[in-house]
């Protein structure tokens, strides 16, 4: 990941008149002086092309006399870093400034806008709401924007609210869903990328006295699909967004592995459950009799049969009123038992009789 440098940028015309006031910009050292100029002009509300720049000078501070002229505007910013210069001054040829009112320059204006790299808009606190803060998912999304910007990430202004928002939203949704189970993913060898470890504990379900969210394979599949869909966007292959794309790809792969593991576990549980049901039906200690057929139930158990029919499976059935009146005989009989199957319940009683 390319290092970032903070530089103060200003511009004036050949007569010394200020074009825009000094503005602090944070840029990657691998960017060139033309990229810096476009971004600085845009932040000042101006749409200007590097073609109108006459010269570029760097110096240690505003008003300093130790200026060094940059011979080529396409030189990288690491030149200023190596020379320990934190101020960049552009001299503009006013005659070259495009007239935005002219139809012939409309295309130039659009092209200049497409060269400005920015981040999607953040959520803002609703001042009219009783809760004066962002929700968990909203705060996570905003923090991801700040982090992505620190890596040098950005999108042209004409697609930032489309491609940029889609990419960061897919990442935010995925991290929110697994917010509470980073440790579980690690134990399953499905590690969340190290760069994203700090993006957890946004879901305060314990504080709200909610149950822990359940991670389901189907939902994980949807989130993984959204991540891969965002990764297929052309803007994610831009050199500015390579760090973001790499981390999103690693997260998508980890979540896919965990999804596959959940599906395998679910299938195993289904197979075991099916085997148990099959074994119960073939149990020699029980006689399966249709409890709703009165002709198959002894008269003394008809009342019990009616009760069992209305009872849910795996429910305790109290047999006090079905046990013998004699206390000794009652002591020898079971007070309660678990009824795993209504049919088996009647069968066991009839066989004991």
Query: Which residue ranges form the domains of the chain, and what is each CATH number?
Result: 4-115 (3.10.20.90), 118-124+134-264 (no CATH), 294-352 (no CATH)
What's the distance, CA 170 to chain centroid? Answer: 5
Tokens of 179: 């917010």
Exposure on the CB side of residue 107, measured as CA atoms within 13 A: 1
> Do 89 and 60 form a contact (C-beta atoms < 8 A)?
no
Looking at the chain, the whole-number percentage of residues with pLDDT higher than 90 is 25
For residue 339, what pLDDT is reported? 47
Q: Is 53 helix (H, G, I), strand (E, B) or coil?
A: strand
Is pLDDT of 102 > 70? Answer: no
Torsion-angle region of 99 (φ positive above 0: left; ψ -120 to 50: alpha; else: beta): beta
Q: pLDDT digits over 103-154, tens only?
A: 444 445 455 555 578 889 998 887 777 767 888 999 999 999 999 988 888 8
Q: Does position 311 have pLDDT exceeding 70, yes or no?
A: yes
Q: How confident is the model at residue 230 (pLDDT cuts 50, 70, 90)?
A: very high
Give the single-character DSSP code of 96.
G
Question: Distances from the Cα of 347 to the Cαs of 117, 320, 330, 350, in angstroms?
Answer: 76, 18, 20, 5
107, 194, 239 from 98: Cα distances, Å: 11, 47, 29
- The pair of structure tokens assigned to 308 is 């069992």
pLDDT, residue 343, reads 42
192-218: average pLDDT: 87
Q: Which of 86-100, 144-158, 261-275, 278-292 has the lowest mean pLDDT?
A: 278-292
Split at pLDDT 50, 70, 90, the class of 330 is low
The 10s digit of each residue's pLDDT in 9-31 is 888 888 888 888 888 887 777 88
48 with 112: CB under 8 angstroms?
yes
- In the block, tokens 């060139």 appear at 32
| Average pLDDT score over residue span 276-284 | 59
User: What is the pLDDT, as a whole number, of residue 231?
Assistant: 94
In this predicted structure, the answer to whether residue 209 has a pLDDT above a threshold of 70 is: yes
Q: Are 345 and 317 in contact (CB under 8 A)?
A: yes
Q: Which of 214-218, 251-255, 346-350 has the highest mean pLDDT?
A: 251-255
The pLDDT value given to residue 344: 42
Q: What pLDDT is attached to residue 291?
A: 46
User: What's the pLDDT at 48?
Assistant: 78
pLDDT tier for residue 278 given thresholds of 50, 70 and 90: low
Average pLDDT of the segment spanning 280-294: 49
The radius of gyration of the chain from alpha carbons, rounded to an integer in Å, stands at 35
Q: Which of 154-163, 174-183, 202-211 has the highest mean pLDDT?
A: 174-183
The residue-averaged pLDDT of 162-167 equals: 93
Is 23 within 8 Å of 40 (Cβ atoms)? yes
Q: What is the pLDDT of residue 313?
A: 64
């Amino acid at each position: 990941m390319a290092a970032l440098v903070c530089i103060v940028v200003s511009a004036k015309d050949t007569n010394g008149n200020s074009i825009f006031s000094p503005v602090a910009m944070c840029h990657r050292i691998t960017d060139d002086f033309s990229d810096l100029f476009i971004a600085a002009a845009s932040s000042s509300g101006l749409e200007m092309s590097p073609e109108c720049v006459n010269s570029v000078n760097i110096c240690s501070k505003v008003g300093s006399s130790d200026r060094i002229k940059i011979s080529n505007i396409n030189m990288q910013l690491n030149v200023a870093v190596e020379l320990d210069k934190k101020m960049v001054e552009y001299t503009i040829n006013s005659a070259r400034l495009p007239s935005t009112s002219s139809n012939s320059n409309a295309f130039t204006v659009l092209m200049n806008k497409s060269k400005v790299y920015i981040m999607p808009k953040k959520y803002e606190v609703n001042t009219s709401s009783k809760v004066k803060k962002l929700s968990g998912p909203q705060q996570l999304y905003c923090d991801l924007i700040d982090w992505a910007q620190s890596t040098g990430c950005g999108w042209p202004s004409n697609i930032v609210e489309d491609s940029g928002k889609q990419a960061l939203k897919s990442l935010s949704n995925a991290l929110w869903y697994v917010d509470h189970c980073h440790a579980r993913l690690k134990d399953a060898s499905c590690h969340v990328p190290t760069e994203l470890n700090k993006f957890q504990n946004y879901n305060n379900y314990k504080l709200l006295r909610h149950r822990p969210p359940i991670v389901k394979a189907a939902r994980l599949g949807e989130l993984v699909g959204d991540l891969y869909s965002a990764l297929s966007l052309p803007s994610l292959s831009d050199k500015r967004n390579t760090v973001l794309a790499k981390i999103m790809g690693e997260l998508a792969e980890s979540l896919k592995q965990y999804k596959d593991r959940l599906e395998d576990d679910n299938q195993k549980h289904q197979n075991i459950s099916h085997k148990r049901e099959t074994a119960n039906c073939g149990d020699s200690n029980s006689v399966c009799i249709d409890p709703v057929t009165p002709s198959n139930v002894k008269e003394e158990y008809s009342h019990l049969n009616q009760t069992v029919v209305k009872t849910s499976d795996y429910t305790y059935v109290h047999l006090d009123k079905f046990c013998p009146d004699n206390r000794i005989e009652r002591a020898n009989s079971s007070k309660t038992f678990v009824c795993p199957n209504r049919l088996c319940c009647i069968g066991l009683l009839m066989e004991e009789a």
